[in-house]
Amino acid sequence: MQQTVNIIKVGGNIIDNESKLTTFLTDFAQLKGLKVLIHGGGKVATEISKGLGIEAKMVDGRRITDTETLKIVTMVYAGLINKNLVAKLQSKGCNAIGLTGADANIIPAHKRPVKEIDYGFVGDVEEEKMDGVVLSALLKSGLSPILAPLTHDQQGNMLNTNADTIASTVAVSLSKHFNVNLIYCFEKDGVLDAEEKVIQEISKPYFAELKEKGVVIAGMIPKLDNAFAAIDKGVSSVYIMHADGLPTLINDSKNTGTKIS
């Protein structure tokens, strides 16, 4: 039987909050089995940019990664956030190793082509090139990879990259070697229905029905689309849930949040 790997993505709301982060890292360190953490950016990059007098560049409400912003996110995501997560997890007995997509070329990408908007140094992941071999070897040797939301263009430049995308592409590449659960942690208990109650399980036909009825909020639709895409490509299950539920889901094997299958 294939070993299971849990791939957990946490967003900036946990990274930015010291008490939430401590709880999360204590839980993560104690999760049974093989695990990968993908972290978002948080507000620190914006604060450091402001401190250095670098204005956030926005075009049509979208953030642009220019040369100066790329330096900041590389420093903050791969340096400050990633290494502090690693040091804290190490102190809690989790043998963490912090990486970006450039390290060991685990996530090849290219600069997003300029169409209506030039996003600057933003990476589109080349999922078809990912074989999961290096991450698989690290996991099998007892390490827990901690991934920052950065890739590289294979021509010498780092690229700012969406953490949800990194989580799903890493999950797909590892599904060639393991039974993979992909878990998106966010600030709610799961996908909510019209009565604000957690929907326990969403299948593809049920998702179509929910979309038609307008039950699922707009912001959740791309997350769910990505979740179904990951499942189509070999991931066993995707969960969208509150980080507090991780020990229940993984250590007690009890479903919590919303399961996409």
The residues of the shown chain that bind its own copies, judged by CB under 8 A, are 48, 51-53, 71, 74-80, 82-84, 86-88, 90-92, 95-100, 102-105, 134, 137, 141, 143, 150, 152-158
| Identity of the residue, 102 or 240, whose beta carbon is nearer to its own copies in the bound complex | 102
β-strand partners of 201 = 259
- Residue 189 is classified by DSSP as S
Element of type H or E holding 137: helix 133-140
Which of residues 135 and 249 has its CB atom nearest to its own copies in the complex?
Answer: 135
Q: What single-letter DSSP state applies at residue 199? A: P
Closest approach of its own copies to the CB of residue 223, in Å? 28
Minimum CB–partner distance for residue 33 and its own copies (Å): 18
**Residue 179 burial (10 A CB sphere; 0-12, 13-18, 19+):** middle
Closest CB 78 distance from its own copies, rounded Å: 4
| Residue nearer to its own copies on the CB measure, 25 or 31 | 25
Smallest separation, CB 31 to its own copies (Å): 18
- Number of Cβ atoms within 10 Å of the Cβ of 157: 15
**Residue position matching structure tokens 């029905």:** 209
63 annotated as ligand-binding = yes
Token pair belonging to 180:
């993979």
Query: Distance between CA atoms of 142 and 71, rounded to whole angstroms?
Result: 32
Residue among 78 and 249 whose Cβ is closer to its own copies = 78
CB of 40 to its own copies, least distance (A): 16
Annotated binding residue at 160? yes
In angstroms, the CA 149 to CA 131 distance is: 19
Nearer residue to its own copies within complex by CB, 137 or 208: 137
DSSP state of 3: P
234 marked ligand binding residue: no
Binding residues: 41-42, 63, 160
